[in-house]
Chain A
Amino acid sequence: NAGVTQTPKFQVLKTGQSMTLQCAQDMNHNSMYWYRQDPGMGLRLIYYSASEGTTDKGEVPNGYNVSRLNKREFSLRLESAAPSQTSVYFCASSGRDGEGNEKLFFGSGTQLSVL
């Protein structure tokens, strides 16, 4: 049981390049989320997905697209990267733990630098 797995862990892009951040969870959770965290700041919600085939915009969706490929996978795509998208990206899923708490389970993050 790996939890939430994100790839890659690090990425450097040039302005205008595109890339896809991958996220997968093996906990059979319905909901998945993408957050970004700029240095010294809190997490901001980019997109979320309530279930396979559905996605919704969060607080800062501009410049991003997402795909909920199936129940396990939720990918984040940058079509034309900009330096303002330099950040750490966290994927999360939500579900119940063994003690009945409904909570977010986070991946280890992807550190993205756009030059």
Chain B
Amino acid sequence: LAKTTQPISMDSYEGQEVNITCSHNNIATNDYITWYQQFPSQGPRFIIQGYKTKVTNEVASLFIPADRKSSTLSLPRVSLSDTAVYYCLVGDMAINNAGNMLTFGGGTRLMVKP
């Protein structure tokens, strides 16, 4: 199992770019890196997923260095509504390896201030 380590909390201001880094030193060859966002009283929601290099979608970018031992979630121009807990999940998500033991770390609590 690839254990993940993230900062416990971060503060930012509206309009700033926020970068949250996750360490996963023992990531396996078949593991993907997936980030989730969780608001209070809700289940986690998918943000972005990647295997290597850079991935970008309409809400975030994910940077993964060549050794894949860490990853950085980048949120451009955050707003108050981005205040949430962000989780990095590392695991083999392939359909043909269904049912892997997918475990979450403690997450990063992001507070966006006006």
Contacts and interface: CB of A to CB of B under 8 A. Distances in A.
B99 A31 contact: yes
A69 B38 CA distance: 29
Given A41-B106, A42-B87, A107-B43, A50 B99 contact: yes
> Per DSSP, are chain A's interface residues mostly helix, strand or loop, or mixed?
strand
B49 to A, nearest CB: 5
Interface in B41-62: 41-46, 49
Interface size class of A (residues with CB under 8 A): 20 to 34
Contacts, number: 78
B65 interface: no
Given A90-B43, A104-B46, A30 B101 contact: no
A96 B46 contact: no
Tell me the dominant secondary structure on chain B's binding face: loop
B44 A106 contact: yes
Residues of B in contact with A, size category: 20 to 34
Given A106-B45, A107-B43, A109-B43, A56 B99 contact: yes
A49 interface: yes
Given A42-B104, A43-B44, A108-B42, A101 B49 contact: yes
Contacts of B85: 42
B93 interface: yes
A43 B32 contact: no
B99 A103 contact: no
Given A90-B43, A109-B43, A58 B94 contact: no
A108 B95 CA distance: 24
Interface of A: 4, 30-31, 33, 35, 41-45, 48-51, 54, 56, 58-59, 88, 90, 92, 94-97, 101-104, 106-109, 111
